[in-house]
Structure 1
Amino acid sequence: MFLEKIKSAESGVLLYGITPPKANTEPERIAEIARKTMERLANLDIDALVVYDVQDESARTADERPFPFLTALDPLVFASGYLESLPLPKIIYRPAGKFSADELADWLETLHEHTFYPVFVGVPVPDYPVKTSLPDAYQIWSKHRDTSVIGAVTIPERHHLLNDEDVRILDKMSCGVSYFISQCVFNLDYARQVIDDLALRCNRQQTAPPTIIFTLTACGSVKTLQFMEWLGIHVPDTLKEELKRSEDMLDKSVRLCLDIASALITYCTERSIPFGFNIESVAIRKAEIEASIELANRIGQMLREKGVRKSLQEKRYAA
């Protein structure tokens, strides 16, 4: 259904995002992590699983990284070798610039064989020696355009600084990109500005807008909050204080995410922008993982109540 929903620009797409285990993890432990992941997701009503490529971005900023960087298992290896029995499409991130054209072509063929879908992202730091440009990477992918879809990333914080995210989005659309997954959203105003400017530019150019999938995540500790800010996620001071002062930061963050989701549903619907949500679960604490499952369930319910997502019963009837 994910492929059809993106190709038809259907709103209400719901994704769940994870990171692979650390690269030095023993195979038996990786298999155990995969089994627990699949058990958690077995009854979750989502359209696809996002598996991130974890990059070391320490050179991007002089600020100290709150958590040490540890190399993670390749997301394609984890998805194909350990999560294959999970009956969901997999969306695999890859920094295209780190690989040659031949390496990307081989990687895309493997993705296609597994019915996985790519999202190309930028290199970790601006001065990284690029082997393949993003336009060239999209051109390599284009042979699969009839049977696949390709995504990209959109960053509301970047739009706030440079005011060109709408231009970036349309440039990537011209290369075949049909949906965009955002960086984690905690600043609603930044996300609204991207929607407004994208809607205006699409109207001016008489172009059908792409699907924008907003990433939301639960935050259960001050250190996690610091890490999100280190990654470049802007948390408004008022929300930051609400989180820090709450008796249960994790529960408070879930409620804030639900408020943000509700506002974005209304905003995108009013501006005819197809949309969805990606619930990110990158923490290792059990409580935060469980909160992400709760968040996914509650947003799914919200989408159904708003009439933009079918119930499981309706899906089975349609099938």
Structure 2
Amino acid sequence: MFLEKIKSRQSGVMLYGITPPKAGTTPERVAEIADKTIARLSSLDIDALVVYDVQDESARTNQERPFPFINAMDPLDFASEHLGSLNVPKIIYRPAGKFTNAELTDWLEKLHQQTFYPVFVGVPAPDFQVKTSLSEAYKIWEKHKVTSVIGAVTIPERHHVLKDEDVRILDKMSSGVSYFISQCVFDLDYAKQLIADLSASCKSKQTDPPTIIFTITACGSAKTLDFMEWLGIHLPAQVKEDLRQADDMLERSVEICLEIASELTAFCMEHAIPFGFNIESVAIRKAEIEASIDMASAINQLLKDAGLRN
């Protein structure tokens, strides 16, 4: 249903996002991680599974990385070789600029054969030597446009600073992009401003808006909070204070995330923007993983109550 929902611009899309195991993980351990992932997600009502491509973004900032960077398995390899029994479409992230045209063409063919869908992202650092531009990558994908959809990333924080995220979105739409997955949302005002400006831009250009899928992530520790900020995720001062003072940071963060999801549901419906949610689980602590599952179920029910999911 994911393909049909995006092509028909239906609201209420539900995704769940994970990172692959670390590179060098033993085959036995990879199989164990995959089995646990499948067991957890089999009971969830989701439209697709997002598998991220983990990149070292240390060159993006002068601030010290809170967690050391460790390479991860290739997301396509992990999804195709270990998650086949999870009967939902897979969305695979790919930094297009790291690959040649020929490599990207081959990768897209493999993706298409398995009914997986791509999301092209930028390179990990501004001075990275780009092999294929995003515009070239979209042209390579174009041969699959009848039977596939392609996504991109949107960043409310960037819109707050540069005020042009709506322009970026419309530009990528002209290249075939039909849905956008946001960076993790903790600042509700930033996300609302992006939606309001995108709605206005689409109306002025008489263009149907794309689907915006908001990434929602629980935060279970002070170190995770520091890492989110290092990644460029903006947490309002009151939210940070709320989390740091909470008796149970994880529980409070889930409450905040559900409030954000509820507000964004009402706001997107008011502005006629097709939308959905991507519940992200990139932590290794069992409590945080379980919280993400509970949160996915709660947001699913929220969308059902709004008449957006059956």
TM-score bucket (shorter structure): over 0.9
Q: Which residue is 2:293 aligned to? A: 293
Structure 2 distance, partners of 1:234, 1:280, is 16
Residue 140 of structure 1 deviates from its aligned partner by 0.2
Letter in 2 for 1:171: D
Deviations 1:200-224 (A, max 9, x none): 0000000000000000001000000
Q: Which residue is 2:103 aligned to? A: 103
Deviations 1:14-72 (A, max 9, x none): 00000000011011100100000000001001000000000000011111100000000
Asked if 1:7 is matched to 2:7, the reply is yes
The count of corresponding residues between Structure 1 and Structure 2 is 310
Asked if 1:197 is matched to 2:197, the reply is yes
Deviations 1:276-309 (A, max 9, x none): 0000000000000000000000000000001111
Q: Which residue is 1:60 aligned to? A: 60
Q: Which residue is 2:24 aligned to? A: 24
Residue 168 of structure 1 deviates from its aligned partner by 0.3
Q: Which residue is 2:70 aligned to? A: 70
Q: Which residue is 1:159 aligned to? A: 159
Structure 2 distance, partners of 1:71, 1:151, is 24
Q: Which residue is 1:248 aligned to? A: 248
Structure 1 distance, partners of 2:111, 2:279, is 22
Residue 254 of structure 1 deviates from its aligned partner by 0.4
Asked if 1:307 is matched to 2:273, the reply is no
SS in 2 for 1:91: strand
Q: Which residue is 1:316 aligned to? A: none
Q: Which residue is 1:135 aligned to? A: 135
TM-score (norm 1): 0.97
Q: Which residue is 1:84 aligned to? A: 84
SS in 2 for 1:120: strand
**Alignment gaps of 5+ in structure 2:** none
Structure 2 distance, partners of 1:193, 1:131, is 34
Residue 127 of structure 1 deviates from its aligned partner by 1.0
Residue 131 of structure 1 deviates from its aligned partner by 0.4
Q: Which residue is 1:114 aligned to? A: 114
Letter in 1 for 2:69: F
Q: Which residue is 1:222 aligned to? A: 222
Map 1:255-270 onto structure 2 (within 5 A): 255-270=255-270
Letter in 2 for 1:42: S
Structure 2 distance, partners of 1:250, 1:117, is 32
Residue 85 of structure 1 deviates from its aligned partner by 1.4
Percent identical pairs in the alignment equals: 72
Residue 84 of structure 1 deviates from its aligned partner by 1.1
| RMSD over aligned Cα atoms | 0.4
**Alignment gaps of 5+ in structure 1:** 311-319
Asked if 1:280 is matched to 2:275, the reply is no
Q: Which residue is 1:181 aligned to? A: 181
Residue 13 of structure 1 deviates from its aligned partner by 0.2
Letter in 2 for 1:117: Y
Structure 1 distance, partners of 2:80, 2:308, is 31
Letter in 1 for 2:47: D
Structure 2 distance, partners of 1:181, 1:225, is 21
Structure 2 distance, partners of 1:10, 1:37, is 27
